[in-house]
A and B are shown apart, each in its own frame.
Chain A
Amino acid sequence: MSNQNGSVYGLTFLCPILNDAAASPSHDLQIRNYLSKLDTGAGSPFAIAPGTHLARLAVMDDVIYVGSPAIEEHLQSKYLVFETNCDSDLEPYLRGLVGAVTSHIDAIWQHCTGYPGCADFSRLLAYMKACQITTSFFFAAVNNKTVPQTLVALQTQQAVAQFIASHQGMEPVQLQREFLDFIQWLRSQPPPAPGVGGPLRAIQTGGHNE
């Protein structure tokens, strides 16, 4: 179960990128260009499609030669690296992506060797299985809740904390009445959308060791 931590899956794919001397710009640069413009908030394909806790797409050019005594080695291809922490194993997760963000999938993976397109799901599944490697070890910030459950839990925590802050010390009968109203209101709230989050924080690092 090395692709699984609790109820969360950690899936990893290495998809070889087309090596076409005639392509200009090269396919890896075209992927980089597309990825650099992807929305990372509510418009992210991983926020639109269901079930993603965290996803990372990166272009791996080569292994870096660090000088003697290391041996100089090279990859046979450039790779698109796709890592995702998600709510289900490959088949249902991929079905969710294809159902929601086909154009993004095609736009990114069309630059990969052997990519069959989203139109034929069984061929796409076979392709992704062929590119999948065992994750072996990964960190899941939340490993026992689905994405919707996590979002509802955060919404509940925020709302309950605000309720307590504004009602602490209230006379018990009134408190109970207002609490029952509050719970009813909370249950009627739609689950928050993924990729929205709380207030923006300027997270910055910058030391040598970070």
Chain B
Amino acid sequence: MSKLNATDIQGFVLRGYNMPCARYCFLHFPDAKSARHLLAELLPSITTGQLWDHKPQSTVNIAFTFKGLAALELPIATLISFPVEFQQGMKARANILGDIGKNAPEHWDEVWREGHVHAWLAIHALTPAALDARHAELAALVAASGVRLLAAQDAASLVVDGQLTTKEHFGYTDGFGNPDYLGVCRSTQPGQGKLLPDGKTWAPLATGELLLGYADEAGELPVAPVPHILAANGTFMVYRKLHENVGTFRNFLNTWAARYGDASDFAKEKLASKFIGRWRDGTPIESSPDAPNQDIVKDPNRNTDFTYGADTGGSRCPVGAHIRRVNPRDAFGFGGRLVNRRRVTRRGLPYGPYTPEPPDPHAQLSESDIAALDAVDRGVVFMVLNACISRQFEFVQQQWISYGNDAHLGNDKDLLLGTHQHGERFSIQGDATPANPPLFCTALPNFVELRGGEYFFLPSITALAMIARELVDPR
């Protein structure tokens, strides 16, 4: 495995920038010429994966929908070589993804309902001022090119009690544990790659699970467009705007906390931890089931280093807890090998204003309080990077979030992300001790609603230049 050329890979693919502000601009190309012109103008600004001596004030990245590549007039032989799911786009995959009911495309934001998005132009920044400054530069280029700016989505880290956090609106600390990949230079942590046969040691996943043009965990090249040089060092991105119903969540947690254990403040936090598999401060409950532990959260050698093999019954971490569903590690046996081709890299930031928790943790919310909290436009901009959308993201979404069979949970879905139907439940297995009781939560509401999104191709720097200069030749 040779070292990757980080200067040819968009920086957003190789690392989370860990910047608190972002703006995702959605562009529409009226014609190929103006789109290519804009792309050529943007090329010097695109942030690569090259390591920084000094962290920049802001970064710029770009990705295209299938319609965008068609508008750029890529050769037809190239266009039809893209994977089917990318050609179809996320809206057409709604049934596969379980995007039904309130999550169905007819309820999405206008920009996603209409389906005119051709490109995602992303700015991440250290400060709001740096974000606005970079946005002004780019907006001028966009306007001058004749390309249309359809919409922009702002996102920002939440400030809780005056502190910048990595929390989302339900109060959970987010952003642990993206996979390691061969050749990707980053500080690795135990628990982040694939489990080796000894059941304890972790190794990076094959590069081809993230990047096109490299062997994946099956030793195959991921399905990719031709020519090879257009695909290599690129990847596919899933963009999903996930609205969070904060009132519904807080009311649900309060209602069931009153029936959980001794119904104390601590029991409420423990119940919240069972939903996700981490205490809201980020401590993995598999490692620390009885209390949150900031020593573990802050220790990169411990905060993602755990397995479920000694907890098959789910008494520490429920079998259906979110982090156990989406990354079952060794929970399905075979030394964890069943999950190695289902891993994804996640990026994301919250959007919308944060409403602090009420001082009294057991204060009951009225129906109008719940509706008012739910109505606020807020949630998470969730992005996935993977080499194969159908094998990785769509599989996890369909089989592990929207279905429970692999986890022996029948038709039950992920508590927070599932589109629930009558008769579903969330099971907390617990044990016989009073501090860790079992509980079945029923009458599940929908906590998260999809407000839109799309599938994007995030090309390499070389490929961006080829597209800008009309040099893509599939022969």
Could you tell me if B223 and A208 are in contact, using CB atoms closer than 8 angstroms?
yes
Within 8 A of A (CB), among B208-246: 223
In the complex where A202-B95, A207-B85, A208-B83 touch, is A165 in contact with B440 (Cβ < 8 A)? Answer: yes
In the complex where A161-B440, A165-B440 touch, is A209 in contact with B388 (Cβ < 8 A)? Answer: yes
- The residue that A165 contacts in the complex, of B88, B95, B442, with Cβ under 8 A, is B442
Segment at the A interface, from B28-36, B51-59, B61-69, B389-397:
B389-397
- The residue that B84 contacts in the complex, of A158, A165, A206, with Cβ under 8 A, is A206
Could you tell me if B411 and A209 are in contact, using CB atoms closer than 8 angstroms?
no
Q: Does B194 contact A (CB under 8 A)?
A: no
Q: Does B200 contact A (CB under 8 A)?
A: no
Q: Which residues of B contact A201 (CB under 8 A)?
A: 403, 411
Q: Does B439 contact A (CB under 8 A)?
A: yes
Q: Does A210 contact B (CB under 8 A)?
A: yes
Q: Which residues of A contact B398 (CB under 8 A)?
A: 203
Q: Which residues of B contact A164 (CB under 8 A)?
A: 440
In the complex where A161-B440, A165-B442, A208-B83 touch, is A199 in contact with B411 (Cβ < 8 A)? Answer: yes
Q: Does A190 contact B (CB under 8 A)?
A: no
Q: Which residues of B contact A168 (CB under 8 A)?
A: 259, 438-440
Could you tell me if B84 and A198 are in contact, using CB atoms closer than 8 angstroms?
no
- The residue that A207 contacts in the complex, of B394, B411, B421, B442, with Cβ under 8 A, is B394
Q: Does B425 contact A (CB under 8 A)?
A: yes
Give min CB distance, B81 to chain A, whole Å: 11
Q: Which residues of A contact B391 (CB under 8 A)?
A: 207, 209-210
Could you tell me if B390 and A169 are in contact, using CB atoms closer than 8 angstroms?
no
Q: Does B383 contact A (CB under 8 A)?
A: no
Chain B's closest residue to A157 (CB) is B410
Within 8 A of A (CB), among B329-379: none
Q: Which residues of B contact A199 (CB under 8 A)?
A: 411, 421
Cα–Cα, bound, A168→B398 (Å) = 30
Could you tell me if A207 and B95 are in contact, using CB atoms closer than 8 angstroms?
no
Cα–Cα, bound, A106→B403 (Å) = 39
Q: Does B96 contact A (CB under 8 A)?
A: yes
In the complex where A168-B259, A208-B83, A208-B223 touch, is A198 in contact with B390 (Cβ < 8 A)? Answer: no
Q: Does A205 contact B (CB under 8 A)?
A: yes
Q: Which residues of B contact A157 (CB under 8 A)?
A: 410
Give min CB distance, B9 to chain A, whole Å: 23
Cα–Cα, bound, A44→B360 (Å) = 59
Could you tell me if A208 and B259 are in contact, using CB atoms closer than 8 angstroms?
no
Within 8 A of B (CB), among A155-197: 157-158, 161, 164-166, 168-169
Cα–Cα, bound, A166→B441 (Å) = 10
Cβ proximity bits B423-446 to A, threshold 8 Å, 1 near / 0 not? 001010000000000111010000
Cα–Cα, bound, A158→B423 (Å) = 10
Q: Does A204 contact B (CB under 8 A)?
A: yes
Cα–Cα, bound, A205→B95 (Å) = 10
Q: Which residues of B contact A203 (CB under 8 A)?
A: 398
Give min CB distance, A197 to chain B, whole Å: 10
Q: Which residues of B contact A204 (CB under 8 A)?
A: 95-96
Give min CB distance, A36 to chain B, whole Å: 23
Could you tell me if B440 and A207 are in contact, using CB atoms closer than 8 angstroms?
no
Chain B's closest residue to A199 (CB) is B411
Cα–Cα, bound, A202→B88 (Å) = 18
Cα–Cα, bound, A206→B410 (Å) = 23
Give min CB distance, A137 to chain B, whole Å: 16
Give min CB distance, B392 to chain A, whole Å: 10
Cα–Cα, bound, A202→B84 (Å) = 19
Could you tell me if B84 and A208 are in contact, using CB atoms closer than 8 angstroms?
yes
Q: Which residues of A contact B88 (CB under 8 A)?
A: 206
Q: Which residues of A contact B394 (CB under 8 A)?
A: 207
Q: Which residues of A contact B427 (CB under 8 A)?
A: 161
Give min CB distance, A155 to chain B, whole Å: 12
Within 8 A of A (CB), among B391-419: 391, 394, 398, 403, 410-411
Give min CB distance, A165 to chain B, whole Å: 4
Could you tell me if A205 and B442 are in contact, using CB atoms closer than 8 angstroms?
no
Give min CB distance, B94 to chain A, whole Å: 10
Within 8 A of B (CB), among A140-168: 157-158, 161, 164-166, 168
Q: Which residues of A contact B84 (CB under 8 A)?
A: 206-208
Cα–Cα, bound, A208→B223 (Å) = 7
Cα–Cα, bound, A207→B86 (Å) = 9
Cα–Cα, bound, A164→B425 (Å) = 11
Which of the listed residues A199, A204, A209, A210 has the most CB atoms from chain B within 10 Å of its own CB? A209
Cα–Cα, bound, A201→B412 (Å) = 12
Could you tell me if B390 and A205 are in contact, using CB atoms closer than 8 angstroms?
yes
Chain B's closest residue to A164 (CB) is B440
Cα–Cα, bound, A168→B437 (Å) = 11
Could you tell me if B425 and A207 are in contact, using CB atoms closer than 8 angstroms?
no
Within 8 A of B (CB), among A82-108: none
- The residue that A206 contacts in the complex, of B85, B421, B439, B440, with Cβ under 8 A, is B85
Residues of B within 8 A of A (CB): 83-85, 88, 93, 95-96, 223, 259, 388-391, 394, 398, 403, 410-411, 421, 425, 427, 438-440, 442
What would be 12 A-B contacts, judged by CB atoms less than 8 Å apart? A157-B410, A158-B410, A166-B442, A168-B438, A169-B259, A203-B398, A206-B85, A206-B93, A207-B85, A207-B223, A207-B389, A208-B390
Besides A161-B425, A207-B388, 6 new A-B residue pairs in contact (Cβ under 8 A), listed by A number: A168-B440, A204-B95, A205-B96, A206-B390, A207-B83, A207-B391
Q: Which 8 A-B pairs have the closest CB atoms?
A: A207-B390, A165-B440, A208-B223, A165-B442, A204-B96, A209-B391, A202-B95, A164-B440
